Structure 1
Amino acid sequence: MPPLCHDDERSALLQFKESRISGDFYAWKFDCRPTMASWKPEEGKVDCCSWDGVHCNKNTGHVIKLDLSHSCLFGSINSSSSLFKLVHLEWLNLALNDFNSSETPPEIINLSRLSYLNLSGTSLSGQIPSEILKLSNLVSLDLSLNDVPGGRLELQKPSFVNLVEKLGNLKTLDLGDVSIQSTIPHNIANLSSSTIISLRNCELQGRISSSLGNLSKLLHLDLSLNELQGELPVSVGNLRSLEELDLSANFLSTSIANLKGLQVLNLQNNSLQGHIPSCLGNLPNLESLDLSNNKFSGQIPQQLVELTFLEFFNVSDNHLTGLIPPGKQFATFDNTSFDSNSGLCGRPLSKGCESDVAPANEDHTKGSEESLFSGTSDWKIILIGYAGGLVAGLVVGFNFSTGIIGWILEKLGTQQKATRRRRRRRN
């Protein structure tokens, strides 16, 4: 029979429960689940290992995992919190709760065994304590979505460099919406085990270090909504495993090479001009392609029909003309994929074309076949960040008590569904 949980750890959990404002009202208002409602030792449930969200080591009885994500927790968290007495914790998820603009307590260093820490969407603010760098066992760190009216999490440049230096075991790093105001450091190559890195809306500046190309295991990279400038390093063509890439809303000029594994490419809101390069059709694994809200002109290349895994396609709000390529995946897209292109015709639009025969692909410009990926011509993607303020403003403008939880969940749910679809297809 497995051992019961330890008295001191049960007591620490109950103290943490009493310090939170929770209840049925919050569950109704925010559609959250009051996980701690099951923590009732007076009803005979004295073994905290049986409580919702609590997981114990089967041999020692110590609490090693605590999952309280989206659990209707409200109220400040500080250094005296009994949570930091759970020194055997290896896994802690407090995402999508409201800690009322509290600063991250430095006592988090007490949880030195943590390998997983998720504090995303918890309304934390102030400086991220340098003590977090001492959590050397961390494999996954998520501090994203803490950009709300109560304040914003901040990570000073020296701490950012040190984080990359000290937490070299990280496989997942999500600092989305954390204010960093730094360049991407050259030592980012230390994150050689990482498969997911998101530095979305971090106020990053300057050029991208060529050492980014050393992250050969990277599957997902999000650098959108920053102030990055200059050429994307040629070394990024080395990221052969990359499946999702978001560079939208920056000031980059880039030629992307050899990224045959890409599944998601987002270049919306960037004032891109000229024709859509037909060589996009050479990315056989693309499942999502967003070129909306740019200034593309000419026809949609017939070669894109060959993207047989494409599930999401959006070229709305451009200046495209001619017949929408018929057949294959293009037959599955609805009108919204092509909105606000007055010159487009053919299905699924109600506007017919004078001829239903797809024209031969135009020889738009010399070298156009190579322009986007090889970097051998003068045509380059110019990622202008004019839309960044709008997107960031929407996030900042949300009031936590009136809907940010629902918005976050919707975004997370969309990503999870896409991931599940990919896994099913591969299996």
Structure 2
Amino acid sequence: MLEEKEHLCHDDERSALMKIKNSFVIDKHASVYEGAYPKVLSWKYEGENTSCCSWDGIQCDEDSGHVIGLDLSSSFLSGSISSTSTLFSLIHLQTLNLADNHFNYSRIPPAIKQLSSLTYLNLSKSKFSGQVPFEISNLSKLSTLDLSFNVDPVTGIKFLKLKNPDLGSLVRNLNGLEILRLSHVDISSTVPDFLANFSSLTSLRLVNCELFGEFPANIFQLPNLQILNVGSNKNLTGYLPEFHKKTPLKILVLADTRFSGSLPFSIEKLDSLEELDVEECNFSSVIPSSLGKLGRLSYLYLGENNFSGYIPSSLHNLTQLTELYLYFNQITGPIPPSLGNLTKLRVLELSRNQLHGPFPESLSKLINLEYFNLVFNNLGGTVRFNMFFHMKNLTSLQLGFNNFSVVFEETNINETSPKFELLGLSSCNLYEFPAFLRHQNELE
């Protein structure tokens, strides 16, 4: 088989690849992925690797020998790509991955249109800048388009913009898309209604794109959509529709937008959900008890909204939950003792609500907690602090500004108590200095 593969490589394509290699310099700072390595160093004319089909990052068609795949992601490449690059002579390419390199803030060349057989194009995290070329809209066979995270990690400045063409013009002809990732591209437009007709979409990520206007509610009903993330678009409005049938959604993120209304009771239809994030929105009304039927949820983020009413006791059914954020709402009533059943919880954030009643002793069963915040509520009674000594991973505990008293019992388990980094006990009616604090060397 190796001998057959040696003869597959076409001379003109091998020559084109060598010119691509020589147009870049290898810079170890050009890629950030831990597993990055300079793939083009295996591209040589001499020795055992003379066939380009055996070079790292190259995939050839088994029958024709043409190069159909080029994966130079995380390859320490530094330089720019011009429209005259021999890259665009590889007209049989079906997949092109240049992610996680440094292309010196150059523009994406319009010559990309010559690669008309592309089904996969990934130019993410590669320091491209300027206007996204209209020519990408000619790549009608694309199933994956990823231009995300061309952004300064320190300042947040977006390098790519999508204004002429706008989002609608760019993707209108790409109706076979399955994955569309444009996070941190400056789009500054509304979300086109026709995306709701892209029935093949499985993943739509448009995070921090300066989107505005009302998000088309029908997109939530796409039959194959598994990931929808439009978070951090502060002027994007919308609402969650009623769900009349099950969908395969696994990740739904609307955080830091102006979505409003209520969480519909029919959200129980989204029974594949693993993450629901609507933090920092304008949702109101009660938290529906039907959330308790989403048994695959690992992450539930409802903080900084206007939710009211009680914490549904049905949440105790979410046994896969690892993070629960309900802070900064208008939630009242007691903490359901049944939350102690959520033994996989690592984060429990209930601060700045109107919770009252006693502190449930059953929460002592949350032995995997790392972060627990209850500040600024109206909880009363007595809290035995020793219950937290069973939580060996607990590094941040904030109990302050409630109406309960925290009491400490003399024990001999100081050496095995959690190593706190943050401990808040303000206004907890302490009558003595907690002896165990003498052993807490990690406190900030």
Give the TM-score normalised by structure 2. Answer: 0.71
**Partner in structure 2 of residue 160 of structure 1:** 167
Distance 1:27 1:180, change over 3 A: closer
Q: Secondary structure of 2:160's partner?
A: strand
Alignment of 1:394-413 (within 5 A): none
**Partner in structure 1 of residue 93 of structure 2:** 89
Gaps of 5+ in 1: 357-427
Q: Secondary structure of 1:337's partner?
A: strand
Shift of 1:4: 2.6
Aligned equivalent of 2:120, options 116, 119, 136: 116
1:68-99 CA distance string (max 9 Å, x none): 11111112222122211211110111111111
Alignment of 1:227-242 (within 5 A): 227-232=234-239, 234=241, 240-242=247-249
Distance 1:153 1:329, change over 3 A: farther
Aligned equivalent of 2:150, options 134, 146, 152: 146
Is the aligned partner of 1:312 residue 2:323? yes
Is the aligned partner of 1:279 residue 2:279? no
Shift of 1:302: 2.0
1:251-309 CA distance string (max 9 Å, x none): 12133443323221012234767764433213333232123455767764321011133
1:150-180 CA distance string (max 9 Å, x none): 7521112653212332000001111111111
**Contact 1:275 1:299 (C-alpha < 8 Å) held by counterparts:** yes
Is the aligned partner of 1:175 residue 2:187? no
Return the alpha-carbon distance in structure 1 between the equivalents of residues 119 and 91 of structure 2: 13
Asked which structure has the greater CA Rg, the reply is: 2
**Partner in structure 1 of residue 251 of structure 2:** 244
Structure ranking higher on relative contact order (CA contacts 8 Å, 6+ apart): 1
**Partner in structure 2 of residue 9 of structure 1:** 13
**Contact 1:116 1:141 (C-alpha < 8 Å) held by counterparts:** yes
Return the alpha-carbon distance in structure 1 between the equivalents of residues 193 and 132 of structure 2: 21
Return the alpha-carbon distance in structure 2 between the equivalents of residues 23 and 83 of structure 1: 20
**Partner in structure 2 of residue 425 of structure 1:** none
Quote the RMSD (CA, aligned, Å). 3.2
- Judge which range, 100-109 or 268-277, deviates more: 268-277
Return the alpha-carbon distance in structure 2 between the equivalents of residues 195 and 100 of structure 1: 32
Q: Which amino acid aligns with 2:228?
A: L
Aligned equivalent of 1:302, options 294, 307, 313: 313
Shift of 1:109: 0.8
Give the TM-score normalised by structure 1. Answer: 0.73
**Contact 1:89 1:113 (C-alpha < 8 Å) held by counterparts:** yes
- Judge which range, 306-315 or 194-203, deviates more: 306-315
Structure with more strand by fraction: 2
Gaps of 5+ in 2: 367-371, 384-444
- Judge which range, 298-307 or 121-130, deviates more: 298-307
Return the alpha-carbon distance in structure 1 between the equivalents of residues 236 and 57 of structure 2: 44
Aligned equivalent of 1:18, options 16, 22, 42: 22
Distance 1:71 1:106, change over 3 A: same
**Partner in structure 2 of residue 205 of structure 1:** 212
**Contact 1:230 1:252 (C-alpha < 8 Å) held by counterparts:** yes
Q: Secondary structure of 2:324's partner?
A: strand
**Contact 2:162 2:187 (C-alpha < 8 Å) held by counterparts:** yes
**Partner in structure 2 of residue 193 of structure 1:** 200
Return the alpha-carbon distance in structure 1 between the equivalents of residues 35 and 118 of structure 2: 29
% same residue = 38
Structure with more helix by fraction: 1
**Partner in structure 2 of residue 338 of structure 1:** 349
Aligned pair count reads: 355
Return the alpha-carbon distance in structure 2 between the equivalents of residues 17 and 141 of structure 1: 24
Shift of 1:207: 1.1
Distance 1:101 1:67, change over 3 A: same
Q: Secondary structure of 1:166's partner?
A: coil
- Judge which range, 183-192 or 135-144, deviates more: 183-192
Return the alpha-carbon distance in structure 2 between the equivalents of residues 316 and 186 of structure 1: 34
